[in-house]
A = this chain, B = another copy of it.
């Protein structure tokens, strides 16, 4: 795989650079305040003040309060990787590899990892954020269903197709929350592997495998 986007820092106009900085400032201030004093206890006005922008600007950058923490474009990224997998590959394998590639892409810098950690810790504790996460996952499922339909040449509104992807994403959701609940100390790649093992083997065996010790 060729590396995708080289940093075109200088090519971005001053306007775009300022927008990016503002966006980052809002998110950073929000995550810090949420962590310090709680999500519900932090009104938008306070975030705006901390980020040195007006409340209107906060809403201009993020449609909802939850999106300040969660908005990202990994959905699209995963779909791109999925569509890039060879056509002969079984769907579950293609999905696994697409997820692998997406994770690798996201986890490129130490800074990015720490950022995700901070945000995920919030997701673990705030119900509203978990709900928003599900919403994103559901949207992701819809687009992946389309992709899979094209792959197999079937209608995207086929029940079997939707159930298949619903099951995979439902399993991945639990894996993600499990990872976060254990304070993100485990290797996410290993967890994804175990998740796909359950999907491939245990569901068919109709009995989840029992491990002796929980690593």
Residues of A that sit less than 8 Å from B by CB: 90-93, 127, 130-131, 134-135, 138, 141, 148, 152-155, 157-175, 177-178, 181, 191, 194-195, 198-211, 214
Contacts and interface: CB of A to CB of B under 8 A. Distances in A.
A211 B166 contact: no
A198 B163 contact: yes
Contacts of A134: 131, 134-135, 138
Given A175-B159, A175-B163, A181-B157, A203 B203 contact: yes
A181 to B, nearest CB: 7
B131 A195 contact: no
Q: Tell me the number of copies of this protein.
A: 2
A157 B201 CA distance: 20
A171 B170 contact: yes
Contacts of A167: 167-168, 170-171, 174, 198-199, 203
Classify the interface of chain A: helix, strand, loop or mixed. Answer: helix
Contacts of A93: 206
A153 B92 CA distance: 29
A128 to B, nearest CB: 10
A191 B198 CA distance: 23
Contact of A170 (B92, B160, B161, B168): B168
Residue of A138, A164, A200 contacting most chain B CB atoms (<10 Å): A164
Contacts of A92: 203, 206-207
Given A203-B200, A204-B201, A204-B203, A160 B209 contact: yes
A107 to B, nearest CB: 20
Nearest to A195: B163
A174 B181 contact: no
